[in-house]
Amino acid sequence: MSSKTGVSVVVPAFNEERNLAVAVGSVITAASGLDDVDLEVIIVDDASTDGTALVARALAEQYSFVRFVQHDKNQGFGTSFLSGLKVATREWITVHSGDNVLTRGTIRVMLQHAGKADIVCVYLLNTEHRTRLRNILSSIFTAVYTLTFNIHLRYINSAPVYNVQQLREMEVRCRRYSFPSEITVKLLRRGCTFMELGGYMNPQRKSSAMKFKNWVEVLGAYVTLSFEIFVSRRKEYSGVPSRVIPEESAPTPLATAEVP
């Protein structure tokens, strides 16, 4: 039996022909030298109309631990993650978007801490790379979720490192932007352990989070989740989560963003 911590990293991509190789390269570089991490990368092409699929296939041919899944039609960021979850072969799973949002140092720290809590979350330290409106909306989103569901995270909609088996036993309703919030809230309300780590993002040229259809989904997801937590499945989600403190006393990811 291997003593390594197996982590599957799902890389959802929609029309990311120019960024996908960089995003996957960031994950591979982040894992290099981590002898106790058994890495798997799962690229999910969400019915791209550019050359994303060609890039994905080339990467899968180049690396034995890279796999490729393709959707026939566009289904959203959350569905892409769930498609990766279905085929994942490692014990732990996380997501790194095809536009390469997180720095390599942040990904590396997440991989290093995989398995040290049921949920390993990241909160962003360099939010100056986002617009003022994006930061305001993000703060409101996090405040509403943390206050409503009585959980204590600095950032609710990050893509943590999750336990694969726990996710496969859970019904996930969100299919787009807010799926990490639904999953994280449900796990915490079941009494899971969690850890928070400071991380950094690369400058973004655009953000799908600002699309109107995503915020429509956010509202519907919040109402549905509230009903599940407090009414229909109240007993299942009445647990109290416990925080695991990382050994490091200060955030350790690379302090500067990377330019592809």
Q: Give the pLDDT score at 176.
A: 82
Query: Per-residue pLDDT for 249 more than 90?
Result: no
Q: Give the pLDDT score at 211.
A: 65
Biggest distance spanned by C-alpha atoms of the chain: 49
Averaged pLDDT score across all residues of the chain: 91
What is the C-alpha to C-alpha distance for residues 240 and 225, in angstroms, rounded to an integer?
Answer: 17
Q: Give the pLDDT score at 129.
A: 85
What is the C-alpha to C-alpha distance for residues 158 and 79, in angstroms, rounded to an integer?
Answer: 16
pTM here? 0.91
Q: Give the pLDDT score at 159.
A: 85
136-141, long-range: CB within 8 Å, 24+ apart, which pairs?
137/209, 137/210, 138/209, 141/181, 141/218
In the chain, pLDDT over 70 holds for what percent of residues?
90
Q: Give the pLDDT score at 210.
A: 56
- Domains identified in the chain and CATH numbers: 5-243 (3.90.550.10)
Per-residue pLDDT of 80-139, as tens digits, reads 999 999 999 999 999 999 999 999 999 999 999 999 999 999 999 999 988 898 899 889
Per-residue pLDDT of 141-183, as tens digits, reads 999 999 999 999 999 988 899 999 999 999 999 888 889 999 9
pLDDT bracket for residue 260 (50, 70, 90): very low
